[in-house]
Structure 1
């Protein structure tokens, strides 16, 4: 509905993530009486905040209605009944049995038993999903949640760039460089830095990734396949002198007849742009962690 130190760091996180997410062979059985209770009043919305994106929410009765105002927030309230509603509809709304809220996220599920609170002034308007309420879900071995991808990306970002960039291009007082590429299971992490040696700040319109033909004989023969990151650490839209970010892709390959293109485009009116060509041999140099 609705490279070694970094390798060691990453391995530690990976093992921890794997153990916490995949170690269980089954989700423990829970009864309604085992669930954490939430109290809700008429006319007051309860916002349930998740540390990772919510996939869907199930409300077990018609007594509750809700929506997702943000990807990690579920908004729940008691169903409002107006004078124009039918008697049958009014009977369907039973404040003595508000039901169960089930929230399914990328790596866990949380469930709550909802009780009615008659004193509106004591009503809680928001809660955070706590670790003790998280039931781990089994996912395919190679799938990571946004929280896990963020952990990997932050640990890459904490490492100082010691070696020369794997690939670098300069144009219009702009520099684009790939510091390194890392691979974990079926994911590739591109560690990239953008430098601006001009006095004019750079407003990012788009950063585009694609796989294209190495040699183009006719413009109409060019085959371009867009690559969309499954995750990026920051969504920054402007930088003055430097900007470093991590872009995560599901692992991909391409033949020697093709190259990967990375284009940084600026918003109009300036419209400064810089483009980098990445050979597949560069991707093959990726570090594992």
Structure 2
């Protein structure tokens, strides 16, 4: 009788394992290599990532993590408890790279300052929403828009020997690329305080406030802080995809720091129809 029971258990085990194998057939897992990280209780470890940090996940509350104030790609790490058990830390950056760490306690000689390289091999492919565009891709297409020969006309303003011009509008996926040119014909440097994009009502009704909706760039390429006298600058601003509603227009506002040479470009939706689709890289 015992032999029969043992045989039945063995058959059931084989059947269950066979069924599980059938269910998982076709799923292939590739392990992401983890780096060792040693942190302490009395010292802070700082890691500089090549791109903006999107998410951070820690395996234990014994590890404290915090992004550096005012910086999107710098992470501070510290032990919340002395002698904690080894745990893990996972960081995903905006260039669609996953960084995995095995975190160990070492208060005597922790790793203090680390800078990660821009290249990370064999990282799994990830996708972001439009609000979290892949910065590496956006940067590449910003450069393509910068050197693209297609131009638009009629979008320019001039004041006190400062010329502000929109020279191109481009699109790739859900990102718009606005290329601007600022020409300083004067001998006085033009220090830039702000360069803003926002949608504004075309006409302001009496006794009502004019509504403005600011569009914050995802990133900028070759953005200047100042235009020296008798020189010029071309820059590209990557913006989330949008259209301009009826009775509204897009304003690109250039404000001089500690000065009065302010300029505004006003564009209606038909100007966006002149955009160029960038080829896929």
The structure with the largest alpha-carbon Rg is 2
Q: Which residue of 2 aligns with 1:153?
A: 142
> Residues 239 and 113 of structure 1: is their aligned pair in 2 closer, same or farther, counting only changes over 3 Å?
same
1:186-229, Cα deviation, whole Å (9 max, x unpaired) = 22110101111111111112122222333445363644333222
- Counterparts of 1:48-67 in structure 2, within 5 Å, are 48-67=47-66
Distance 1:239 1:188 in 2: 24
Matching residue of 1:104: 92
Q: Kindly state the Cα deviation for residue 252 of structure 1 after the two structures are TM-superposed.
A: 1.4
Counterpart in the other structure of 1:238: 226
Quote the Cα distance in structure 2 between the aligned partners of 1:27 and 1:104.
22
**What is the alpha-carbon distance in structure 2 between the residues aligned to residue 165 and residue 27 of structure 1?**
53
Alignment of 1:267-286 (within 5 A): 267-268=257-258, 270-286=259-275
TM-score after normalising by structure 1: 0.72
| C-alpha displacement of 1:126 | 1.0
Q: What is the CA-CA distance between 1:123 and the residue it aligns to? A: 4.3
Say if 2:152 and 2:274, in contact at 8 Å, map to a contact too. Answer: no
2:77 aligned with 1:76, yes or no?
yes
- Higher RCO, 1 or 2 (CA under 8 Å, sep at least 6)? 1
Deviations 1:82-112 (A, max 9, x none): xxxxxxxxxx6434x2311111323233211
| Residues 42 and 107 in structure 2, CA contact (< 8 A), matched pair in contact too | no
1:227 to 199, 215, 221: 215
1:247 to 197, 218, 237: 237
Q: What TM-score does the superposition give when structure 2 sets the normalisation length?
A: 0.74
Query: What corresponds to 2:20 in structure 1?
Result: none
SS of 2:270 mapped into structure 1: helix
Tell me the equivalent position of 1:9.
Answer: none
Q: Deviations over 1:102-141 (max 9, x none)?
A: 1132323321112345762x84631416513733324348
Q: Root-mean-square deviation (CA), in Å? A: 3.1
Q: What secondary structure is seen at the aligned counterpart in 1 of 2:100?
A: strand
Work out the CA distance in 1 between the residues paired with 2:217 and 2:202: 22
The aligned residue for residue 16 of structure 1 is: none
Shift in CA distance, 219/275, structure 1 to aligned 2, threshold 3 Å: farther
Give the match for residue 37 of structure 1. Answer: 36
Note the residue ranges of structure 1 that are not aligned, 5 or more in a row: 1-25, 80-91
CA contact (8 A) 1:59 1:102 kept: yes
